[in-house]
């Protein structure tokens, strides 16, 4: 299943629960979905609090799925093509440099002046 198919499946689920309805107790607004996404992402951290190893892989997988589903829904309600955005971000990241010695960069900048 690709991102579009997963998004369609998520939208069918949300629609079946009535969460797209105007009077829904769980309105699918960008704000609400962003909050839910952040809360679910924080739940991933609980799996690594005080230890580095995965204790319950199934539970971690469930939390990762929650994050992914909220992300798909947020992209959908904001009209963002997540697949396109991700590919564009990967291309941008390919041109970036990480782990560059900052003192060397600052020295180069002051030397160029």
DSSP string across 42-100: HHHHHTTTT-SS-S-HHHHHHHHHHHHHHHHHHHHHTT--HHHHHHHHHHHHHT---S-
Contact present, 72 and 7 (Cβ < 8 Å): yes
Query: pLDDT at position 4, please?
Result: 94
Residue 67 belongs to a domain with what CATH number?
A: 1.10.287.1080
Range of the domain at 87: 3-112
pLDDT tens column, 46-97: 999 999 999 999 999 999 999 999 999 999 999 999 999 999 999 999 999 9
Q: Report the domain count for the chain.
A: 1
Average pLDDT over residues 25-51: 96
Say which residues have a Cβ less than 8 Å from residue 20's Cβ, sequence separation at least 6.
14, 28
What band does 98 get if pLDDT is binned at 50, 70 and 90? confident
What is the rounded distance in angstroms from the CA atom of residue 14 to the CA atom of residue 12? 6
pLDDT bin (cut points 50, 70, 90) of residue 101 is: confident
Cα gap 26→76, rounded to integer Å:
16
Question: What's the average model confidence in pLDDT over 37-54?
Answer: 94
Q: Which of 85, 73, 89 is nearest to 20 (CA)?
A: 73
């Amino acid at each position: 299943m690709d991102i579009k198919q997963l998004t369609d499946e998520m939208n069918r689920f949300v629609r079946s629960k009535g969460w797209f309805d105007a009077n829904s107790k769980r309105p699918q607004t960008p704000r609400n979905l962003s909050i839910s996404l952040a809360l679910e992402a924080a739940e991933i951290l609980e799996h690594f609090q005080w230890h580095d190893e995965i204790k319950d892989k199934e539970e971690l997988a469930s939390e990762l799925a929650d994050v992914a589903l909220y992300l798909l829904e947020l992209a959908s309600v904001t009209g963002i093509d997540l697949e396109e955005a991700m590919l564009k971000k990967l291309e941008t990241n390919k041109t970036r440099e990480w782990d560059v010695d900052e003192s060397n960069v600052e020295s180069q900048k002051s030397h160029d002046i």
